Every structure is written in C-alpha cells, then in structure tokens.
Amino acid sequence: MKISDSVLRSFRVARTYGENSQKVNCVDFSPSGENAVSSSDDDCIVLYDIREGKPKRTLYSKKYGVDLIRYTHSDTQTVVYSSNKLDDTIRYLSLTDNKFIRYFPGHTARVIALSMSPVDDTFISGSLDRTIRIWDLRSPNCQGRTNPLGKPVCSFDPDGLIFAAGVESQAIKLYDLRAFDKGPFASFETRFTRVCDWTGLKFSNDGKQILISTNGGMIQILNAFNGSVLHTFSVRLYFHKPPLYICLSISATS
C-alpha cells in the first residue's frame, strides 16, 4: 500500500484492547503478521491472535519490567526485550513456558532501540550509553559495538545486510553489517518543523524508504539512498476521558 494523505485519512480504529492498566510501551507483529505482542509499564507482556482479533495470554516481568519487545527471527514462541527496572540487560524469553533462555548484558544505560535481523539470529540494540551493540541469540557475548557519536535509534534493512542509526534526532547513518567497524558508508541529516525526539526507524519492505517516528506527533519518510524527504505527516492527538478516545488529525506534506 502506498502511503498518502488520503490513505492515512481513511484509517479507522478497528478494535481496541483494555488489557493494560498503565502505558503500553511497545507493540510488535510476528513475521507472518498473525500474532502480536505488547509490553507495558504494568510489567505485562500480552500476546494477541491477530486472526481472531483477541488477546490470548498474559505474561509478567515483575522483577525486571518490560520496555521494548521484539519477536525473534521467524519464531512466534520467543522474544527479546529490554527492561525498565533493575538494570539494562536485554533478555531472551520463551513464551511457551515463560522462562529466560539467555541474558545479554553490556549496556550501561537504558536501551532505546531493538531490531531483529529478518534473515538470521542477529539483533542490534541502541542505548542512552551512546552505543549500538550487535548480538547473536546463541551467545550472551556482544558480537560488536559501534559508537555513532550520539543517542541512537536503529533498524535493520529487509535483507539484514545494512542497519541504519538515527543519531541525536538529526542524522541517519548507514552501516554495512559486515564492515560496521569501518564506520558508516553514508549519512544524511534531516530536521522536523517541531521540536521532537526520534523514537524509531523502520525500512520499507523493498528497502527504498526509511520511516522516522517521533514523540512529537510527526512522522517522516525518506529516500533510503540519498536521504531526501518524501513525505512528512503531522498528527494531532486529542484525548478525552473517561472513557478514553483518541482522535487523529493528520496533515501531509511532500
């Protein structure tokens, strides 16, 4: 589906869920799109059956909390997640028996980005310690580290060969996974008209575009090869309570 102003304006809420008592931090879809998992400040990990449109199970991470969460490569029975309590270790969890498979220590500040390779067991993490670390699910040891010179969010491309780092909410740097230690092979800057922090990056399925999400009600889509801005979407949120409704007012510029 091509993203446009008219397409976004046609979006409507199809279903709402009230499983959580506090803020939902992250939602991730399985590679097939048939399952989803969410994490929240109430320490809950909620599993959803998207085909049925129903929550199917709730797990708890009372000791460590749960912030960002990602399904592992081609597996709906395991996840990796970062914590918002105790420490900054990343945890590898079996959803089948709610037991930890492995721990990935190393970051010294909050993890603000997690991205799973779409082709193998590699994943990357970005942290407020200003590093991006490369991991393999089969080993607790960090496989590599790069310092992008700022607070990074990061994401793999669809082929798992390149990852992008959004640094200090103003620049995108592209790294070859096989030669990340040589630094980025391309970089470009982009700015928003509002003051906001970047909260995530996402490549399109064909790898030709990069979407930047923010905490300031703005989304930007860039050309992944030269950094030119293709679209900017501005969102205004209006909250009414109780009950809670979220109304979106969206404008787009190219």
Please tell me the distance from the alpha carbon of residue 146 to that of residue 110, in angstroms, as a whole number: 16
- Rounded to whole angstroms, how far apart are CA atoms 78 and 76? 6
Q: How far is residue 46 from each of residues 28, 98, 200, 206, measured CA to CA in Å?
A: 11, 12, 21, 30
Q: Residues for the chain: how many in total?
A: 254
197 CB burial (10 A radius; 0-12, 13-18, 19+): middle
Half-sphere exposure at residue 110, Cβ-oriented, CA atoms within 13 angstroms:
9
What whole-number distance in Å separates Cα of residue 167 and Cα of residue 131?
10
31 vs 38: CA distance, rounded Å: 15
Whether 221 contacts 208, CB under 8 Å: no
d(CA 251, CA 236): 9
Q: DSSP string of 217-236?
A: SEEEEEETTT--EEEEEEEE
Question: What is the value of pTM for the model shown?
Answer: 0.87
| pLDDT, position 13 | 83
Split at pLDDT 50, 70, 90, the class of 253 is low
Instruction: Write out the DSSP string of 136-171.
Output: ETTEEEEEEEE--SS-EEEEE-TTSSEEEEEETTTE
What does each C-alpha distance from 197 to 16, 40, 59, 164, 223 come to in angstroms? 27, 20, 30, 16, 20
Q: pLDDT tens-digit profile of 181-232?
A: 999 999 999 989 888 999 999 999 999 999 999 998 899 999 999 999 999 9
133-143 pLDDT, tens per residue?
999 999 999 99
Average pLDDT over residues 65-79: 93
The per-residue pLDDT for range 118-136, each reduced to its tens digit, is: 999 999 999 999 999 999 9
CA distances from 83 to 104, 125, 251 (A): 11, 13, 35
